Amino acid sequence: MVHPQVPVDTSSCVVDTGDTTWILVSTIFVLGMSPALAFFEAGMLRSKNTISIISQIVVGNVLLSVMWLFFGYSLSFGTSFLGVIGGLEHLFWIDLPYNKCGNMAANIPAALFALFQMMFASITPLLMTGAYAERFKWDAFLIFTVAWEVFVYYPVCHWIWGKGFLHQLGVLDYAGGIVIHTTAGIASLVVALFIGPRKDFFAFHGEYPPSNLPLAATGAALLWMGWFGFNGGSALGAGSLAVSSVVSTHVGGCCSAIVWLVLSMRAHRPAATSILNGVLAGLAGITPASGYVNTQATIVIGLACGFLSYYGCHFSKGRMHVDDALDVHMIHGATGALGSLFVGVFGNLQATDMGGHFFEFQSGPKQFLLQLFGVSFVTVYSGIVTYVILVSLQRSLGDLTHDEDKLDMGLDWVDHGEVAYHKLHVLSSNSIVDGTSRGGGGGGGG
């Protein structure tokens, strides 16, 4: 087992069947997080946009996976050009053998590492669907997702994980607190501010009633399971580091959920939506630190992420009136950034055994400042590039959202000609659409 900071010695690399099996399983777990995300978001949103959000995530996963195969992996993990972007030697996964290690991971085939990273690259832009949900036009979604992946995710992934300039400086991100959650989180905030709030945002105080909480809970549970592969697989092998990462993942999610539970009970009642959001906030927050901190430190990180995300969501929607539909910038962005900073507080940067000590402060002020710089730089970069993409799209496509009449019908009917639930109103209060009205089938949507 090699701790992520230790350079891979490819000269003595031998593919290990145990490590390979674990990363294969982890890859499948992370792939399952995409449909889980679709279930969660569809359940939390209004029923008339169910097909829309599911289609965005499924199509996005397909499109982003092919992009990763064609050129994304090479730009992210190819030979670094000035520490900014990777080279083109791995286009179409050229020179990524299935029976030999590569220069990024010991003891697993190079192609498996690329496949595992494909899952990360695919889900990252799709986190933002929860921010602009129920508003983006279909063509705007497609172009935005492709452009953001190319101009934000690939460069940032290379900077930190592909041995780019932030990696060379010493910035650490175990499983995606900066590369995934910070980039998508700040981009979600920018998108939400750019396209503006949904109709009746103030009437509902930004909290529209969810259409299907059991579906949302199912999605959250599957995300929780998938996160074990997300973080545990980032150990790139089966061993003590993978065990520590899985333990931290679960503990972090649970501690954050307890904070949300207590605060929601104090405010009114134990809302199911609060508990689900609390779990996800803790999972996102522990992601960058799960391979660097022990269990005791994980408790602190989980609790801190719970408080930050809970009060952050209420401040953002209640005071600032930001219509990030599912609070992505807080649940993922703010917690991912906070967890990344905690690497500079509690991080054990050498040992693979995270047990046996109550708290460790081995990182020191230098590592904390490096983490602060990395989080700040990536936040600014992702925010600016996201804004530029949105402005460019608006100039070329016009409005990125439909007019209010179409939004009232729901994106299921407007963009897809289908509806999710049988015989629900979509055209007007007096007009009922059934599954045979358009597009050859489907349920209803409202």
* Beta bridge partner(s), residue 401: 136
Q: SS3 of 166, please?
A: helix
Per-position DSSP letters for 62-92, written without gaps between them: HHHHHHIIIIIHHHHHSS-BTTTB--STTGG
pLDDT at 98: 95
Residues 122 and 401: their CA atoms lie apart, in Å, by 24
Contact, 190 vs 387, CB < 8 A? yes
| Predicted structure pTM score | 0.92
- Please report the beta strands in 282-430, taking only residues with DSSP state E, as ranges in sequence order: 425-428
Token duo for residue 127: 């986190």
Cβ contacts of residue 437 below 8 Å, gap of 6+?
A: none
Contact, 165 vs 83, CB < 8 A? yes
Q: How confident is the model at residue 257 (pLDDT cuts 50, 70, 90)?
A: very high
Residues 158 and 156: their CA atoms lie apart, in Å, by 5
Residue 270's region, left for phi above 0, alpha for psi from -120 to 50, else beta, is beta
Q: Cα–Cα distances in Å, from 105 out to 39, 153, 198?
A: 33, 20, 45
Question: Residue 26: CA atoms inside 13 Å, Cβ hemisphere, count?
Answer: 32
Sign of CA dihedral 333, 334, 339, 341: positive
Cβ contacts of residue 382 below 8 Å, gap of 6+?
A: 152, 156, 182, 183, 184, 186, 187
Residues 89 and 42: their CA atoms lie apart, in Å, by 40
Determine which helix (DSSP H) or strand (DSSP E) holds 431, and give its type and residue range: strand 431-432
Contact, 135 vs 265, CB < 8 A? no
Contact, 118 vs 65, CB < 8 A? yes
- Least reliable range by pLDDT among 293-307, 400-414, 432-446: 432-446
pLDDT at 437 over 80: no
For residue range 197-242, what is the model confidence (pLDDT) as tens digits? 999 998 888 889 999 999 999 999 999 999 999 999 999 999 999 9
pLDDT at 12 over 80: no
pLDDT (average), residues 323-343? 97
Residues 207 and 323: their CA atoms lie apart, in Å, by 9
